[in-house]
């Protein structure tokens, strides 16, 4: 059977999986028939792991043990302002990990963001395997274009923990452009405006003769639907507090109900002018006094509450267009991607800025996964997309800290990847025998104001006056956007080379342990599923036998050996019922054969009774 590569859109709010079949990409529906699955992971009271719709449905009653929007945490250090903002907003616990990273508490266990993300990726993999009827090991996973190296590394780690070989990390807007242009006669410059559940990206691509070249990209990894929801929740909380002098934030269940209602109202207001939020018994004060929340929300109020968020996306678009030296009149198309682009105000401001109505010919929730599937197929079989070439860019400048704490850029943002760049530096102190290479990513002139990616030391330099010893520093960026750095003493040839790993990333040992634990869980989970299938089969056989038993009793009661046979049958049924009740695999296996023999005997007795001459 030919090897398949799946494309996965690992989203903040929802995730999606697709496969290229023939010349078209197909989004695969989950067991419930939905083509997107909530990016939600929960731990039940019994310690069972829940993923997707089942996790989201129980969030109201288990808010403190239900993790959502984890994509906003992945690859970020504990001290990040974004992490602290999430900590203040979510009901589940966030704690500092052993590498100054983030850990998520569900029940009595601590999980890293890559682990939680791995469970979602594993769910996407399972959906694809069930649809295709074969095991899947390779995938292309999408990330926001503005993700930094640490966030990309953490996403690849999540894939490894999920048992997937992530053969390529691809930027979400680029994937959307691939799906938009694949198999179509598209020429010219295209803007992809991608406003999803937690992140915003804008990319400008030049598409010509099957070549998809990213000209410029920018974004905000902390701007999306979650922020729109929060504005509405804050407005409802403030109104309720003013009316009843009760703070709904003090109750995790009330806040989760409010969040769900706000998200639904936001979605509804994309198609209607006003909607009601009606939450009876939202909170009780403990004095036999229950409160109800009822508010009418208009589209105008939502737009007023969130206007600055939408305007922020337009400002990022303006700066990106200036970076690329492109004017709106130069564009062939503006493509909208992400669920938040359904909001009329977003569409209005986009049309106003670009001077044209945006294209709505792609499904905003599915197109990214489809593009990832197309790229995946092209990577393992050039014949799948023979005329397609993808040229992406690095979203951030890369460089090192030099004397005085300044940031020296070696690779400028919007440089096509893969790429490499070298620069020769000299020692800054007399008799300096080692040099620390501190790697940063960002646009600020001061190194400390940028994102620290990692550091290493090149030692063994010859003692000499400052400025005499030369060190060649080379940056490499892979097609995934992963950074490698090498430093070489040009006099001795001594060299150090690392793939940059963030100081807040998981260690190799931790990744292997998490991957093994996840595999053990999957084996156990599959075994439980097999036991459940067998339990249901035995239960069905028992019901069938019980339905036939009165007729069998009637026929056998008058025969010489009838009573002994019936006593034996009742023992077999009692054992089967007990095995079903206990969900015991060994017991179910033990009762299966005698139960089937009994049922066959029942059918024989009943059939012979029907044809017996009168």
Residues known to be catalytic: 9, 71, 172, 194
Write the DSSP symbol of residue 446. B
What is the C-alpha separation between 137 and 3, in angstroms, rounded?
9
The answer to whether the beta carbons of residues 164 and 139 sit under 8 Å apart is yes
SS3 53: helix
Joined together, the tokens standing for residue 609 give 């009774």
Please state whether 43 falls in left (phi above 0), alpha (psi between -120 and 50) or beta.
Answer: beta
The answer to whether the beta carbons of residues 147 and 153 sit under 8 Å apart is no
What is the C-alpha separation between 316 and 322, in angstroms, rounded?
10
Q: Where are the alpha helices (DSSP H) in 410-559?
A: 508-556
**Torsion angle of C-alpha atoms 316, 321, 324, 328, degrees rounded to 10:** 160
What is the C-alpha separation between 552 and 549, in angstroms, rounded?
5
What is the C-alpha separation between 511 and 574, in angstroms, rounded?
48
The answer to whether the beta carbons of residues 83 and 77 sit under 8 Å apart is yes
What is the C-alpha separation between 490 and 171, in angstroms, rounded?
36
SS3 498: strand
What is the C-alpha separation between 246 and 360, in angstroms, rounded?
43
What is the C-alpha separation between 33 and 21, in angstroms, rounded?
19
User: Phi, psi (5° rounding) for residue 430?
Assistant: -60, 145
User: Phi, psi (5° rounding) for residue 231?
Assistant: -60, -40
Joined together, the tokens standing for residue 94 give 């966030």
Q: What is the CA angle 136-141-144, rounded to 5?
A: 165
What is the C-alpha separation between 202 and 411, in angstroms, rounded?
20
What is the C-alpha separation between 370 and 366, in angstroms, rounded?
6
SS3 540: helix
The answer to whether the beta carbons of residues 68 and 120 sit under 8 Å apart is no
């Amino acid at each position: 059977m030919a090897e398949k590569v799946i494309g996965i859109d690992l989203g903040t709010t929802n995730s999606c999986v697709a496969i290229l079949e023939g010349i078209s990409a197909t989004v695969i529906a989950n067991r419930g028939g939905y083509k997107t699955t909530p990016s939600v992971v929960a731990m039940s009271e019994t310690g069972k792991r829940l993923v997707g719709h089942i996790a989201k449905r129980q969030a109201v009653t288990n808010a403190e043990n239900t993790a959502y929007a984890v994509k906003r945490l992945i690859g970020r250090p504990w001290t990040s302002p974004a992490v602290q903002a999430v900590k203040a907003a979510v009901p589940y616990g966030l704690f500092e990990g052993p590498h100054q990273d983030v850990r998520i508490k569900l029940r009595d266990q601590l999980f890293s963001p890559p682990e939680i993300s791995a469970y979602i990726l594993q769910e996407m993999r399972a959906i694809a395997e069930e649809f295709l009827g074969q095991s899947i090991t390779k995938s292309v996973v999408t990330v926001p274009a503005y993700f930094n190296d640490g966030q990309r590394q953490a996403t690849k780690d999540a894939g490894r923990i999920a048992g997937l070989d992530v053969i390529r990390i691809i930027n979400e807007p680029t994937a959307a452009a691939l799906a938009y242009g694949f198999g179509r006669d598209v020429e010219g410059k295209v803007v992809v405006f991608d406003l999803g559940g937690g992140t915003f990206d804008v990319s400008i691509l030049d598409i010509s003769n099957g070549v998809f070249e990213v000209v410029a990209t920018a974004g905000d990894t902390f701007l999306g639907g979650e922020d729109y929801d929060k504005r509405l929740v804050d407005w409802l909380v403030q109104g309720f507090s003013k009316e009843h002098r009760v703070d709904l934030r003090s109750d995790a269940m009330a806040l989760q109900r409010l969040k769900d209602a706000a998200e639904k109202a936001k979605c509804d207001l994309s198609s209607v002018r006003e909607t009601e939020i009606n939450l009876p018994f939202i909170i009780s004060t403990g004095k036999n006094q229950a409160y109800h929340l009822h508010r009418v929300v208009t589209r105008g109020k939502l737009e007023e509450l969130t206007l600055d968020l939408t305007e922020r996306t337009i400002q990022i678009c303006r700066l990106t267009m200036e970076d690329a030296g492109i004017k709106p009149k130069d564009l062939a198309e503006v493509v909208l991607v992400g669920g938040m682009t359904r909001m009329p105000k977003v569409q209005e401001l986009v049309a106003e800025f670009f001077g044209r109505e945006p294209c709505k010919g792609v499904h905003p929730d599915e197109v990214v996964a489809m593009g990832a599937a197309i790229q995946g197929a092209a990577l393992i079989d050039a014949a799948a997309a023979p005329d397609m070439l993808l040229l992406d860019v690095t979203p951030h400048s890369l460089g090192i800290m030099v004397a005085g704490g300044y940031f020296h850029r070696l690779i400028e943002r919007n440089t096509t990847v893969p790429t490499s760049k070298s620069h020769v530096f000299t020692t800054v102190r007399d008799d300096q025998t080692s040099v620390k290479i501190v790697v940063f990513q960002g646009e600020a002139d001061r190194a400390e104001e940028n994102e620290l990616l990692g550091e290493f030391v090149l030692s063994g330099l010859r003692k000499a006056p400052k400025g005499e010893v030369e060190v060649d520093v080379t940056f490499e960026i892979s097609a995934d956007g992963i950074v490698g750095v090498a430093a070489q003493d040009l006099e001795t040839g001594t060299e150090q080379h690392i793939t940059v790993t963030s100081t807040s990333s998981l260690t190799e040992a931790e990744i292997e342990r998490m991957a093994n634990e996840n595999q053990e869980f999957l084996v156990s989970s599959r075994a439980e599923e097999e036991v459940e299938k067998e339990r249901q089969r035995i239960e069905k056989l028992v019901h069938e036998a019980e339905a036939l038993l009165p007729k069998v009793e009637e026929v056998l009661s008058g025969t010489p050996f009838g009573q002994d046979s019936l006593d034996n049958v009742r023992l077999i049924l009692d054992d089967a019922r007990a095995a079903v009740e206990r969900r015991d695999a060994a017991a179910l296996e033990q009762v299966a054969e005698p139960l089937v023999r009994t049922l066959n005997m029942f059918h024989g007795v009943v059939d012979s009774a029907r044809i017996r001459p009168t």
